[in-house]
Amino acid sequence: MTRKKYVELRKKRLKERDERFKRQREKARAKRLRKWTELVARRRRIEEQLEKARLEEERREKARDGIESAKTAVREVEKETEALVYVPEIMTEISKMLADADESLRSADYERAVKLSFEIKELVEKARLEASKRVEERKRAEEEERERRIEEKLLLEKRLEEERREEAKDAIGSVKTAVEEAEDKTKLSLYVPEITKKIDEMLTDAEKSFDLADYGKAIELSFGIRELVEKARLDASRKAEEKRKRRKEEPKYFYCVIPFSKEKSFGNIGLNNSEVYTIPYRDVAAVVSDSPMKDYELTEDNTRRHEKVLRQVMEEHTVVPVEFGTTIKNERILKRLLTKAYNPTRESLNLVDNMVELGAKILLNKDIVFVDPKKRKECVSDILASLNAKAKQAVTGDLFSDRLILNASFLVNKEDIDSFSDKVMKLQGKYPMLKLLYSGPWAPYNFVYIKIGTEGIEVTKK
């Protein structure tokens, strides 16, 4: 074999070996890919099974709670009105429905169990009213019998009428309280306006009946209102929960943080006329509105809307403002950011507690020129010291004009705004050669503010 042939044969064998190694590597890579795909699919199936089990458990808990609530209502009505004695037919029906509900729970028919629990509560309320009515009928019969035996019939009738009047008055007062509590807790007028309107009409009728001394009708209407309030409360709670679940996944426009631990709505005052509300975390809350994830232009309308929200919130709460145009993908991410930045946020709230920002700019009048720089400096120092006496902190800004000699922001307690304004007016009289431009109250941007950066929430304090 010649050297040339040997070299060619050697190259051929090396090429075959490289191809064989390449096929082996590709085969191993394909095997690893199949194994990884199988693992991902298996994990997805497990997650789906866990989610299904969780949802099933939630439905079961809801059904069980509904049945327990219905049973509690049955026990209470039996204790309060002796319903077994006065309305045995209704109580028998309730017992059958309770048995059906328990059976539905055991057979995992949770929707039917929940539906039965609601129907049982309605029937319990009906039993309560019917038993009360029959008790009243019995009392009335006994009273009539007693009246026939007593010579002072007119006096007794007058007393009974007064009692009836007080009962109707108490019933109307009680139902008004129930309506106010339901509105405060579940926002009936927001979620069920049609039922709220019906309740208002019935309340008006009950008050008219009371004024006309038709106390029986007033009491009857009060009971009807109470049933309607309960129905409205349940419907409003359900709709509120649906809205709350939907909102959790929607993007949020972030306005500020306040020291507040409850959910609260400030009305439809946000950007795009959206509802502004709180998302609480511990003892602080983010003030947000639902918004698409986008970059908001710094237009006059957008900034005016943003500032309007801050001003309205500041009427009731201390605020730490957030940089304009800040949007968060969803509620879960927002709460995670609040969790990480809780301590600096809480410190910032403490720093500006019950405080607002007031701005003051001092300009030279057009016909005045300060020749002596020393005198000019003394004048600025005097004004700044006078205003500082009414403020907790102050920061000075850039002098962007030749005639501008002071550009400052002051952190002032809300109770001291009037005295600070009076001080500005006195300084204007003391220095007629100057023009004092006074603005506010504003959110304390120049002292604390929140910015969402690459590392999460950045809380800046000055």
In a domain, 373, yes or no: yes
Return the amino acid letter for 208: K
Number of domains the chain is built from: 3
- Residues 6 or more apart whose CB falls under 8 angstroms from that of 289 comprise 252, 253, 255, 270, 271, 272, 274, 275, 276, 277, 309
In a domain, 184, yes or no: yes
For the chain, give the percent of residues with pLDDT over 90: 7
Could you report the per-residue pLDDT of 18-31, keeping only the tens digit for each?
888 888 888 888 88
Instruction: Evaluate if residue 403 carries a pLDDT over 70.
Output: yes
Instruction: Evaluate if residue 172 carries a pLDDT over 90.
Output: no
Residues recorded for the chain: 462
Closest CA to 413 of 398, 392, 429, 395: 392
Handedness of CA 426, 431, 432, 436 (dihedral sign): negative
Return the amino acid letter for 261: S
Give the model's pLDDT for residue 257: 93
In a domain, 175, yes or no: yes
In a domain, 380, yes or no: yes
Domain C-terminal end among 248, 269, 287: 248
Residue 70's pLDDT band, with cuts at 50, 70 and 90, is confident
Instruction: Evaluate if residue 371 carries a pLDDT over 60.
Output: no
Closest CA to 332 of 258, 250, 270, 266: 250
What's phi and psi for 279, nearest 5 deg? -120, 100
Instruction: Give ∠ CA 417-422-428 in degrees, rounded to 5.
Output: 130
Q: How far apart are CA 155 and CA 150, in angstroms?
A: 10
Q: Report the pLDDT averaged over residues 70-86.
A: 77
Q: How far apart are CA 350 and CA 348, in angstroms?
A: 5
Closest CA to 325 of 298, 286, 290: 298
Could you report the per-residue pLDDT of 255-270, keeping only the tens digit for each?
999 999 888 888 888 8
**DSSP assignment, residue 272?**
G
- Residues 6 or more apart whose CB falls under 8 angstroms from that of 334 comprise 252, 254, 279, 286, 288, 328
Domain, as residue range, for 382: 355-446
Handedness of CA 100, 103, 109, 110 (dihedral sign): positive
In a domain, 207, yes or no: yes
Give the model's pLDDT for residue 291: 87
For the chain, give the percent of residues with pLDDT over 70: 95
Instruction: Evaluate if residue 388 carries a pLDDT over 60.
Output: yes
On whether both 374 and 337 belong to a single domain, the answer is: no
Domain C-terminal end among 248, 274, 290: 248
Give the model's pLDDT for residue 407: 86
Closest CA to 237 of 192, 181, 285: 192
**pTM summary value:** 0.51
Could you report the per-residue pLDDT of 415-460, keeping only the tens digit for each?
888 888 888 888 888 888 878 888 888 889 888 878 776 555 666 6
Give the model's pLDDT for residue 454: 54
Instruction: Evaluate if residue 240 carries a pLDDT over 80.
Output: no
Q: What is the mean pLDDT of the chain?
A: 83
For 244, left (φ over 0), alpha (ψ -120 to 50), or beta? alpha
Residue 364 token pair: 């030279």
* Contact in structure between 384 and 393 (CB atoms under 8 Å): no
On whether both 164 and 217 belong to a single domain, the answer is: yes
Give the model's pLDDT for residue 310: 92
**3-state helix vs strand vs coil in the chain, percent to 5:** 65, 15, 20
Q: How far apart are CA 367 and CA 312, in angstroms?
A: 40
Q: Report the pLDDT averaged over residues 98-124.
A: 84
Question: Which has the minimum average pLDDT: 55-64, 66-75, 189-198, 386-395?
Answer: 189-198
DSSP-based three-state secondary structure for 282: coil
Instruction: Evaluate if residue 381 carries a pLDDT over 90.
Output: no
Domain C-terminal end among 189, 220, 248: 248
Instruction: Evaluate if residue 144 carries a pLDDT over 90.
Output: no
Neighbouring C-beta atoms of residue 4, cutoff 10 Å: 8
Tell me the CATH number at 421: 3.30.70.260
In a domain, 42, yes or no: no
**DSSP assignment, residue 401?**
S
Instruction: Evaluate if residue 188 carries a pLDDT over 80.
Output: no
Residue 139 token pair: 């009392």
Decide the pairing of beta strands 434-442 and 252-258.
Answer: unpaired
Give the model's pLDDT for residue 368: 66
On whether both 327 and 300 belong to a single domain, the answer is: yes
Q: How far apart are CA 455 and CA 294, in angstroms?
A: 20
Instruction: Evaluate if residue 370 carries a pLDDT over 70.
Output: no
Could you report the per-residue pLDDT of 279-307, keeping only the tens digit for each?
999 899 999 998 888 888 888 888 899 99
On whether both 387 and 412 belong to a single domain, the answer is: yes
On whether both 264 and 184 belong to a single domain, the answer is: no
On whether both 436 and 319 belong to a single domain, the answer is: no
On whether both 455 and 327 belong to a single domain, the answer is: yes
In a domain, 96, yes or no: no
Q: How far apart are CA 187 and CA 191, in angstroms?
A: 7
Give the model's pLDDT for residue 456: 56
In a domain, 18, yes or no: no
Give the model's pLDDT for residue 319: 92
Q: What are the angstrom distances between the C-alpha of 361 and each of 66, 143, 232, 300, 440? A: 63, 81, 54, 22, 12
On whether both 343 and 427 belong to a single domain, the answer is: no
